[in-house]
């Protein structure tokens, strides 16, 4: 499939998704040029690409690969604005893993 | 052509008429089991589907526009057939660009073993919370079909929560919403005991009820008959074991 599954995760899941493609929704807390920090159930360092346009304080959904240092190398980022209910978004992550039969294939 | 036409004639398909609308993830669509011309998800025949995804590709053809939608659980082609009468520029369509999230409504089709969805409507998602909302709704519907309704006898945590709510609601009246005005004193006590005692989904045996209430077995049996006849309780594992019939 040309668009592989991207399970939704939060910072505590990074360890178990090393070297995998994931989807994370978090709030941008720091921009440092080539990298940024997002808060997605904990701070996560993300490595940006040239097409990313992140804004501090905005929610952003990133698709990226978790590397060995638990940074996320971004492939795509979508601005989710400033009106995101993170309780709902984090509940989605929780059900993603609790009822993964409808969300992703395990290995 | 004649053969196929008669296959799908109304006479052959009237059983189980179904025009439901179901919220799903794309993985569920890809996993749907073919069943004749139809598909099943979680053992239930599907009709209309709705899902939310990000547009990965747009292919405009003369007869349709094919969107490739990806919701993180998988990706699928969604075809919207062009309406020749609506050739003027549609303001909604202008917002359906690559990378944008949208919601689609439509029916699952299969052509040469390749699934796609024929969509009646595709509209952009304006409030990104709809993505979370949709995935939570799809989960709730999935759990409904695989584990039964919330508060049903076999859903552990959901049931407990629902019962908690019920307890709070009925704190004032011992009989909940049930009308026991036409019943005798014993029947009222039996019903109240059945309502309020902790029990498994098998309910309680009449012996246990009699012992706890200190009422004669025969009287409890008679009261039970009245409550059974009135549809307020039902028998479970045998004729002497009853549970309250929860009517919503």
Partner B contacted by A94 (CB < 8 A): no
Report whether A37 contacts A43 (CB < 8 A): yes
Whole-angstrom CA distances from B123 to B36, B206, B236 are: 30, 58, 49
Within 8 A by CB and 6+ apart from B54, the residues are: A78, B69, B70, B71, B99, B100, B101, B102
Cβ–Cβ gap B27/A1 under 8 Å: no
Q: Name the closest residue on chain A to residue B142, using Cα atoms.
A: A102
Instruction: Label residue A1 exposed, middle or buried (CB < 10 Å: 0-12, 13-18, 19+).
Output: exposed
pLDDT of residue B14: 43
* Contact: B74, A5; criterion CB under 8 Å: yes
B120 near A99, Cβ under 8 Å? Answer: no
Helix B206-213, helix B217-229: angle, nearest 10:
120
The pLDDT, as a whole number, for residue B86 is 61
Nearest-neighbour CA in chain A from B178: distance (Å): 36
In chain B, residues with a C-beta closer than 8 Å to the C-beta of A85 are 129, 132
Lowest mean pLDDT among A25-34, A41-50, B53-62, B207-216: B207-216
Spell B71-87 as b/e; 16+ CB within 10 A means b. bbbbbbbbbbeeeeeee
What was the ipTM of the complex prediction?
0.95
Residues linked to residue A59 through DSSP beta bridges, in sequence order: A27, A81
Asked if A3 contacts A87 with a C-beta cutoff of 8 angstroms, the reply is: no
Q: How far is A99 from chain B (nearest CA, A)?
A: 8
Alpha carbon A30 to chain centroid distance? 15
- Say if A95 is an interface residue toward chain B (CB within 8 Å): yes
Q: Which domains does chain A have, with CATH numbers?
A: 11-99 (2.40.50.140)
- All residues of chain B having their beta carbon less than 8 Å from the beta carbon of residue A105 are 27
A106 touches chain B (CB under 8 A): no
Each of the 248 residues of chain B gets a pLDDT tens digit; together they read 444 444 444 444 444 557 899 999 999 999 999 988 899 999 999 999 999 999 999 999 999 999 999 999 999 999 999 876 665 667 788 899 999 999 999 999 998 889 999 999 999 999 999 999 999 999 999 999 999 888 765 444 433 333 333 333 333 355 666 778 888 888 988 988 888 888 887 889 988 898 888 888 888 998 988 888 888 888 888 888 898 887 55
Query: Residue B230, exposed/middle/buried by CB under 10 A (0-12, 13-18, 19+)?
Result: middle
Cβ atoms of residues B32 and B39 within 8 Å: yes
Q: What domains are defined for chain B?
A: 21-147 (2.40.50.140), 185-244 (1.10.10.10)
The Cα B227–Cα B107 span in angstroms is 46
């Amino acid at each position: 499939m040309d668009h592989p599954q991207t399970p939704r995760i939060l910072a505590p899941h990074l360890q178990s998704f090393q070297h995998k493609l994931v989807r994370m929704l978090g709030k941008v807390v720091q921009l440092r040029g080539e990298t940024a920090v997002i808060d997605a159930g904990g701070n996560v360092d993300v490595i940006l690409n040239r097409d990313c346009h992140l804004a501090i304080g905005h929610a952003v959904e990133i698709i990226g690969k978790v590397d060995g240092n638990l940074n996320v190398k971004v492939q795509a980022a979508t601005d989710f604005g400033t009106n995101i209910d993170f309780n709902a978004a984090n509940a989605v992550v929780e059900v993603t893993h609790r009822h993964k039969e409808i969300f992703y294939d395990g290995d | 052509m004649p053969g196929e036409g008669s296959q799908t004639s109304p006479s052959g398909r009237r059983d189980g008429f179904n025009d439901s609308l179901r919220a799903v993830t794309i993985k569920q669509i890809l996993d749907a089991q073919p069943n004749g011309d139809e598909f099943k998800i979680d053992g239930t025949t599907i009709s209309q589907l709705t899902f939310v995804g990000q547009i990965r590709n747009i292919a405009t053809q003369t007869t349709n526009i094919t969107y490739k939608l990806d919701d993180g659980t998988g990706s699928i082609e969604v075809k919207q057939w062009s309406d020749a009468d609506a050739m003027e520029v549609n303001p909604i369509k202008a917002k359906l660009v690559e990378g944008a999230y949208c919601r689609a409504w439509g029916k699952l089709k299969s052509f040469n073993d390749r699934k796609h969805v024929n969509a009646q409507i595709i509209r952009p998602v304006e409030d990104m919370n709809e993505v979370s909302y949709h995935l939570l709704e799809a989960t709730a519907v999935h759990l409904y079909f695989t584990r039964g309704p919330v508060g049903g006898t076999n859903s552990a945590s959901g049931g407990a929560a629902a019962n908690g709510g019920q307890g709070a609601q009925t704190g004032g009246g011992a009989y909940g919403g049930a009308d026991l005005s036409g019943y005798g004193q014993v029947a009222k006590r039996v019903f109240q005991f059945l309502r309020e005692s902790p029990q498994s989904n098998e309910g309680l045996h009449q012996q246990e009820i009699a012992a706890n209430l200190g009422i004669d077995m025969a009287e409890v049996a008679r009261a039970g008959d009245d409550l059974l006849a009135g549809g307020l309780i039902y028998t479970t594992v045998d004729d002497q074991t009853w549970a309250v019939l929860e009517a919503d």
